[in-house]
Amino acid sequence: MAERIPAEERLTNLVVALMATEIGLTKQQIVDSVSGYRQRLEAGVSSVALDKMFERDKDELRALGMPIETIGEFADPNDLREARYRIPKSEYDLPLDIEFTPAELAVLRLAGSVWSEGSMSDDARAGVRKIRALGIDVDEPIIGFAPRIAARESAFAPLQHALDRSVEVEFDYLKPGEDAPRARRVLPLALLEFEARWHLFGRDLNADAERTYLLTRIVGDVKVTSRVHSSAAQEGAGDRARAGLEAVAAAHSALLETTPGTEADLRLARRATPATQGVRVPYVDLHVFADELASYGPEVRVVEPTELRDAVISRLRDVVAAHTEGGER
């Protein structure tokens, strides 16, 4: 009976083989020579089953950030019937003219530890791989603790995936005041954090115009399509998105009174300007800002605008009703 190789060992052997070749390996060469496949071939496993195993392994490695490259025929690169596979050495090597001091490497290591793997773009993961190739462990904190940044919204990961590949997405989006979500078809151009919330900036393909979407308002799953667009539209998209959000915030502000030394006072002060009565804080979305202010309870009072004050009061009344016996208002 042929020796059975564990899946993790087979994957490791596949990575080593794909990194060791310059011209790439065909599926047949992989099955014939890579330990883990070879033993199954000798045991009589069908070529169809081995092909499926390789495709699953390839997808799993790519999901882990391994840059597996597919090479077609020299005369016709689109002909993948005899495709060859490799992991380009350049994906693990920094340019020869780039050097880092120990302090710079420490900062890069910390930066790599801050972002959770699922929230990183393909380019960011490639950068972390190259730092690891220098012998630097980017997962080890350098200051006693490792801060982490991760997006809570489930829409973030598929949108980042679509953004990396310049493909369209489809999702349902619920705007304030609407009874039901509406289907959107969007080409993602940038993901950005603004006022501690994640936004998608993209081209609404039905309206043929750029729009900004709050990730918390995406209802259900994001469908990532196979419809590819040019990545040229992403150039400067993040700056355009931020400028648009800043313009909206500049046009809307609230006059607030906060209790000194409280969480509300500390958090709101970061983006507030002093006013004759309290502080003035810009905001983008009245409903989202009302949620935030209501979470501070008695630590903050809305002086104006009236619409925002009413929205906060409504939320606080809902909280009281939810904690009152019988749920009465």
The domain ranges of the chain are 7-89, 92-150, 156-237, 252-325
Q: Which of 193, 306, 184 is nearest to 245 (CA)?
A: 193
State residue 136's pLDDT score. 43
Q: DSSP for 16-36?
A: HHHHH-SS-EEHHHHHHHSTT
Determine the straight-line distance between the first and last CA of the chain, rounded to whole angstroms: 73
What are the respective helix, strand and coil percentages of the chain, to the nearest 5?
A: 45, 20, 35
Q: How many CA atoms lie within 13 A of 69 on its CB side?
A: 15
Range in 149-153, 163-167, 185-189, 213-217 with the lowest mean pLDDT:
149-153
Q: Which of 233, 236, 220 is nearest to 184 (CA)?
A: 220
Q: Cα torsion for 16, 18, 22, 23, to the nearest 10°?
A: 150
Q: What is the pLDDT of residues 173-194, one digit of tens each?
A: 998 778 899 999 999 999 888 8
**Sheet hosting strand 279-282, strand order edge to edge:** 273-274, 279-282, 253-258, 300-304
Check: CATH 3.40.50 for 7-89?
A: no
Q: What is the pLDDT of residues 117-150, one digit of tens each?
A: 444 555 555 555 544 544 444 444 433 334 444 4
Residue 73 reports pLDDT greater than 60: yes
Higher-scoring residue by pLDDT: 203, 153: 203
User: Could you say which architecture CATH assigns to the domain 156-237?
Assistant: Roll (2.30)
Residue 109 reports pLDDT greater than 60: no
What whole-number distance in Å separates Cα of residue 119 and Cα of residue 151? 7
Continuous segment of H or E residues that includes residue 264: helix 263-269
Query: What pTM was computed for the model?
Result: 0.52
Higher-scoring residue by pLDDT: 310, 2: 310
Q: What is the mean pLDDT of the chain?
A: 79
Report whether 87 contacts 19 (CB < 8 A): yes
